[in-house]
């Protein structure tokens, strides 16, 4: 991490050392005072070019409407967790801070606490398009102080993707509807037995995959039990829960029985890209616990065009542990366009964000980027709704979805979840021991036993 941080600082200095070409306009205005040089930092991960192409198109549109302005697109080439580290290093100094940063919603409160982000309320109050955004999306961009720190560009849900052709070879139904964790494990075991050479089941786990392991892997399990990470009624973090141990036991089962990729492969930082561009398109993976956006790889504009994906793959909801509660579970996240507190051109940056989030541009990115729309006028657009065979399925999961506790402590808690998963998947720890270590670590992170509880909010 230290090496990554040092590299990140060099990247930030080299990519973002050019200063503003204009005098700083007055803060809070909705229009820039003249031509400006603005820099936009985003994550460039894997071979995908959807975001790059989208930003390039908006840059052309913006510069044509603002003669003399320059928009510099700064791709941060990194895995997810390394991206977070790099942009935080960049935002520390006005010499390296971009003017716009692509910010994951779960980091907003921790980055506010660190002083990295600028509140956008003065801008939003004068923007007639803010009413088009769904309230849940607005809430995800809101800090604990009640102020808004980002403009969301989409959300997502998570479920099980499965290969119907592999299922047919294994004698499993094309319309697969697992009701419990045991149903998922049973299907994976059947595939291992009857279709050798295929990975039965993938769930992200371990440190290299970062937040994907915590959210798409572990929390998709935990929130299918009777337990949660945080008790919002008591305002305390949950420790000592049976659901946490049961979730780790599931991780142990899939890796110890050889139902998942080998720990060596699973611990590759490129595993997410490999799943989307190799394992699924090449029918080497039967079941994948993953996000709604993954099909973006297979569109004409994606990293691995695959026209047959909509007939080869099916989607089904991840069931709860024993079929209780709502019967199915999903986790949702999302990203926002935020303005760093040390941006040299915040007004021009806001003008660019408004251009990013016109109805036309928002619809284009939601379609090309395989996002669930957060603008009401995009969500109701006929072209968007028919843009993918899976759009309606993943949109319907919003009714059961859960959001991470986006509190300042969460990134550190998430890291402890990933540590516990990795120790279990590699056989270094048994689930009970890993859960105990997690509990002790969380107590240290959140301020002691008084800030924890053994009672979850439940389902």
Residues 6+ apart with CB under 8 A from 261: 199, 202, 271
What pLDDT is stored for residue 369 in this prediction? 86
3-state DSSP of the chain: CHHHHHHHHHHHHHHHCCCCCCCCCCCCCCCCCCCCEEEEEEEECCCCCHHHHHHHHHHHHHHHHCCCCEEEEEEEECCHHHHHHHHHHHHCCCCCCCCEEEEEHHHHHHHHHCCCECCCHHHHCCCCCHHHECHHHHHHCECCCCCECCEEEEECCEEEEEEHHHHHHHCCCCCCCCCCHHHHHHHHHHHHHHCCCCEEEECCCCHHHCHHHHHHHHHHHHCCCCCCCEECCCCEEECCCHHHHHHHHHHHHHHHCCCCCCHHHHCCCCHHHHHHHHHCCCCCEEEEEEEHHHHHHHCCCCCCCCCCHHHHEEEECEECCCCCCCCEEEEECEEEEECECCCCCHHHHHHHHHHHCCHHHHHHHHHHCCCECCEHHHHCCHHHHCCCCCHHHHHHHHHHEEECCCCCCHHHHHHHHHHHHHHHHCCCCCHHHHHHHHHHHHHHHHCCHHHEECCCCCC
Can you state the angle between helices 410-425 and 431-446, rounded to 10 degrees? 160
Q: Is the pTM of this model over 0.85?
A: no
The answer to whether domain 37-156+333-401 has CATH 3.40.190.10 is yes
What pLDDT is stored for residue 31 in this prediction? 42
Between the alpha carbon of residue 358 and those of residues 217, 369, 399, the distances in Å are 34, 16, 26
What pLDDT is stored for residue 34 in this prediction? 65
For the segment 387-414, what is each residue's pLDDT rounded down to a tens digit? 888 998 999 998 899 999 989 999 999 9
Report d(CA 257, CA 273) in Å as an integer: 24
Q: How far is CA 153 from the centre of its chain?
A: 12
How many other β-carbons are positioned within 10 Å of the β-carbon of residue 112? 20
pLDDT by position in tens, the chain (length 459): 333 343 333 333 333 333 333 333 333 333 444 688 999 999 987 677 889 999 999 999 999 999 999 999 999 988 777 899 999 999 999 999 999 999 999 899 999 999 999 999 999 999 999 999 998 889 889 998 999 999 999 899 999 999 999 999 999 999 999 999 999 999 999 999 999 999 999 999 999 999 999 999 999 999 999 999 999 999 999 999 999 999 999 999 999 999 999 999 999 989 999 999 999 999 999 999 999 999 999 998 888 999 999 999 999 999 999 999 999 999 998 899 999 999 999 999 999 999 999 999 999 999 988 899 999 999 988 889 888 889 989 999 988 999 999 899 999 999 999 999 999 999 999 999 999 999 999 999 999 999 999 999 744
- Fold match, 37-156+333-401 / 158-331+405-453: yes
Q: Which two tokens stand for residue 385?
A: 């709704």
Residue 240 backbone zone (phi > 0: left; psi -120 to 50: alpha; other: beta): left
Q: How far is CA 443 from the centre of its chain?
A: 26
Between the alpha carbon of residue 1 and those of residues 81, 88, 201, 208, the distances in Å are 10, 13, 30, 11
C-alpha distance across the termini of the chain, in Å: 37
Please report, for the chain, the start and end positions of each structural domain, with discontinuous segments joined by +: 37-156+333-401, 158-331+405-453
What pLDDT is stored for residue 19 in this prediction? 32
Cβ-count burial of 177 within 10 angstroms (0-12 exposed, 13-18 middle, 19+ buried)?
A: exposed
CATH of domain 158-331+405-453: 3.40.190.10
Q: Over the Cα atoms of the chain, what is R_g?
A: 22
Between the alpha carbon of residue 202 and those of residues 41, 290, 421, the distances in Å are 31, 9, 14
Q: Which two tokens stand for residue 413?
A: 């808690």
How many other β-carbons are positioned within 10 Å of the β-carbon of residue 198? 18
Between the alpha carbon of residue 440 and those of residues 111, 230, 325, the distances in Å are 25, 15, 29
What pLDDT is stored for residue 46 in this prediction? 67
């Amino acid at each position: 991490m230290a090496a990554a941080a040092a590299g990140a600082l060099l990247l930030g200095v080299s990519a973002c050392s050019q200063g503003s070409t204009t005098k700083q306009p007055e803060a809070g205005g909705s229009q820039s005072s003249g031509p400006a040089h603005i820099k936009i930092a985003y994550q460039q991960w894997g071979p995908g070019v959807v975001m790059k192409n989208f930003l390039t198109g908006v840059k052309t549109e913006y510069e044509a409407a603002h003669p003399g302005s320059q928009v510099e697109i700064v791709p941060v080439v990194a895995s997810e967790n390394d991206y977070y580290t790099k942009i935080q290093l960049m935002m520390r100094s006005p010499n390296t801070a971009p003017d716009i940063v692509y910010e994951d919603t779960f980091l907003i409160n921790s980055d506010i606490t660190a002083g990295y982000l600028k509140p956008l309320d003065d801008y939003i109050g004068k923007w007639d398009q803010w009413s088009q955004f769904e309230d849940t999306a607005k809430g995800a961009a809101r800090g604990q102080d009640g102020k808004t720190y980002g403009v969301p560009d989409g959300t997502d849900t998570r479920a099980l993707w499965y290969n119907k052709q592999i299922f047919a070879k294994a004698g499993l139904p094309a319309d697969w509807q697992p009701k419990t964790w045991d149903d998922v494990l049973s299907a994976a075991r059947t595939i291992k037995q009857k279709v050798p050479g295929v990975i039965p089941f993938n769930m992200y786990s371990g440190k290299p995959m970062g937040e994907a392991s915590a959210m798409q892997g572990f929390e998709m399990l935990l929130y299918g039990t009777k337990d949660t990470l945080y008790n919002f009624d008591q305002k305390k973090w949950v420790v000592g829960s049976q659901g946490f141990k049961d979730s780790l036991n599931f991780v142990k089962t899939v890796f110890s029985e050889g139902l998942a990729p080998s720990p060596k492969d699973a611990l590759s930082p490129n595993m997410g890209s490999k799943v989307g561009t190799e394992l699924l398109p090449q029918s080497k993976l039967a079941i994948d616990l993953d996000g709604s956006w993954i099909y973006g790889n297979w569109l004409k504009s994606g990293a691995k065009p695959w026209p047959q994906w909509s007939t080869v793959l099916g989607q089904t909801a991840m069931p709860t542990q024993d079929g209780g509660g709502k019967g199915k579970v999903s986790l949702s996240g999302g990203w926002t366009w935020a303005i760093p507190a040390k941006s040299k051109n915040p007004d021009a940056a806001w003008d660019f964000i408004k251009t990013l989030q016109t109805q036309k541009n928002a619809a284009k990115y939601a379609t090309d980027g395989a996002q669930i729309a957060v603008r009401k006028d995009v969500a109701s657009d006929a072209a968007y709704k028919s843009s993918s065979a899976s759009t309606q399925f993943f949109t319907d999961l919003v009714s059961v979805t859960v959001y991470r506790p986006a509190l300042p402590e969460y990134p550190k808690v998430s890291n402890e979840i990933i540590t516990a998963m990795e120790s279990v998947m590699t056989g270094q720890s048994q689930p009970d021991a890993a859960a105990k270590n997690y509990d002790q670590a969380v107590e240290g992170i959140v301020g002691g036993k008084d800030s924890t509880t053994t009672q979850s909010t439940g389902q």
